[in-house]
Structure 1
């Protein structure tokens, strides 16, 4: 059963960020209380940030791994609905539900992985384990058949979300200030630039 036209969903998705943007302006002063007023965003500053990533082997390795992991993430998010609907003949509602599960599972996963990284496991080790989990869940989804029970498909979707979408948790732990002797707050965006370069 379709509750509303897809155009309504597109408009709603477009409005939510705008509401968030203007809503946050009310508490912006609290969020920006640690901002350095002397720091100005400049093209030279952006180049300095990217240069630091390229001249630091650990950060360059992290940026490369993040690029490849995010490539897998964008591939899954771009084609999972088409794969389930057109290649397997499932309804748009079912495919959209699986897509939502992938997204929804990533939210707690990023928090959990970020908490685990550096406390219980090295963030490098955790990133490697997430790569294995990512590969396994992608392989499992490639074997999908419409006769599978919903719980099995949902379980694989959770694994996909927790690995492909959740990988930013431990990655962010690696690039936070203190994770590298030369890193500063303004360079945190450097690896993120490479993570999403292909998107």
Structure 2
């Protein structure tokens, strides 16, 4: 049938019979005045394709993945929140808090790269439970009030933090509709700001009623309950496990070789390194920049920072919804567009001064929020799309390992540039150049992928 011959087609209803891997689709296609019906086969995705984003399974899995991400993020930030509040009794210096945070992300980078083997051997639900278990143990250890106990446990939290995304990506890629992945993955990634917000809200609230040690135990208990709540899902979703799947150096080497053998996966991993640098640099230095260089008050700068984070949450969802609308095959182009927005925002931040109107300053920071904080869900979905069908966790793990590497080194490099030059403008200019190059390379890769250019 030639596509031009179909004048109009309206979907009426879809039902799946009790047996058989197909759907009966009732529709009316106006074709030379005739109305026809089709039986459409889809073995791989079944009811989720028809029910789309509103299927109970899709909603449940997305909510579960979001809960894991939010809980492990909240756990990683609990010590910083306790140290900031004198009611907690945690007399910990800023440098030790920084060392604790670095230990978390070091463990996360290693855990992410090891995730592929663990997911293959134990399944994504069991690995998600391990992520929650690591949060439970790590936060409970804070109750001792000893930073030297907390530091090695911070590394353990990181070992659980790292696999949270690869295991969720494997689970969502297996059991949710491909067409909705950009939005589903973007919704899941809102767990990071939700977890950060939960830590900032819950810790001070709990400290109004109990000690710092008791607060840590309450948060640990919440994470432990989630470990148990995930158990009923294991039999249903941890299928196809390979008990002999390699774990450790061999698995990491194989996963890295796999990522390197796919040009787009290789590029996505490299891009995430750069994107993490700008995201963490903006998060770590924007308030200082606005107060020291632009001349805003602490309250004004804090308000602008809140705008950045809010735009990041909105952006994660909005970009995912837009990509669902225009087609998930345009994921690389969308990431190129976001990199371009990062470059524009960073360039504007570099030349910004105290003479700029407040609405313009807010607009520049909002642009950075939408792009530099809002890219993560699109990135996760595109890695899942580009990876081989049975290697989603491995590809995501290596890519996230690169991301966490950017998290670790980005703020350090930005801070060194600011100290050496006495200006934040050099750091923001470097970010603009970095993301501008990423935009060009990503869009070139998209054009090659869709065949717009030939080698």
Alignment TM class, shorter chain as reference: 0.7 to 0.9
Cα 1:88/1:107, change in 2 over 3 Å: same
2 CA distance for matches of 1:184 and 1:126? Answer: 23
2 CA distance for matches of 1:10 and 1:194? Answer: 38
Match of 2:365 in 1: 157
Cα 1:132/1:96, change in 2 over 3 Å: same
Q: Which runs of 5+ in 2 are unaligned?
A: 1-81, 89-198, 204-215, 408-455
1 CA distance for matches of 2:405 and 2:366? Answer: 25
Cα 1:23/1:90, change in 2 over 3 Å: farther
Could you tell me how far 1:183 is from its partner in structure 2? 5.4
Match of 1:35 in 2: 238
Match of 1:96 in 2: 302
Contact 1:117 1:173 (8 Å CA) reproduced? no
1 CA distance for matches of 2:226 and 2:399? Answer: 26
User: The residue matched to 1:89 in structure 2 has which SS?
Assistant: coil
Match of 1:108 in 2: 314
Deviates more, 1:86-95 or 1:133-142: 86-95
TM-score, length of structure 1 as denominator length: 0.80
Contact 2:279 2:372 (8 Å CA) reproduced? yes
Contact 2:264 2:386 (8 Å CA) reproduced? no
2 CA distance for matches of 1:125 and 1:10? Answer: 49
Could you tell me how far 1:18 is from its partner in structure 2? 4.4
User: Highest Rg: 1 or 2?
Assistant: 2
Q: Which runs of 5+ in 1 are unaligned?
A: none
Contact 1:102 1:157 (8 Å CA) reproduced? yes
Contact 1:109 1:166 (8 Å CA) reproduced? yes
Q: Residues 30-71 of structure 1: CA distance to partner in whole angstroms, max 9, x if unpaired?
A: 564412465578213333222211222110011112211222
Could you tell me how far 1:129 is from its partner in structure 2? 0.9
2 CA distance for matches of 1:49 and 1:114? Answer: 27
User: The residue matched to 1:88 in structure 2 has which SS?
Assistant: coil
Match of 1:7 in 2: 84
Match of 2:224 in 1: 22
Higher relative contact order (CA 8 A, sep 6+): 1
Q: Residues 109-137 of structure 1: CA distance to partner in whole angstroms, max 9, x if unpaired?
A: 11222233364151111111111111111
Q: Residues 145-184 of structure 1: CA distance to partner in whole angstroms, max 9, x if unpaired?
A: 33444333222222101101111122112111x4333652
Correspondence 1:57 to 2:57: no
Contact 1:106 1:166 (8 Å CA) reproduced? yes
Cα 1:98/1:24, change in 2 over 3 Å: farther
Cα 1:150/1:31, change in 2 over 3 Å: farther
Match of 1:128 in 2: 336
TM-score, length of structure 2 as denominator length: 0.38
Could you tell me how far 1:22 is from its partner in structure 2? 3.3
Contact 1:118 1:173 (8 Å CA) reproduced? no
Match of 2:383 in 1: 175
Could you tell me how far 1:93 is from its partner in structure 2? 2.0
Aligned residues: CA RMSD: 3.1
Correspondence 1:185 to 2:262: no
Which has more strand, going by share of residues? 2
Contact 1:49 1:186 (8 Å CA) reproduced? no
1 CA distance for matches of 2:349 and 2:83? Answer: 26
Cα 1:183/1:157, change in 2 over 3 Å: farther
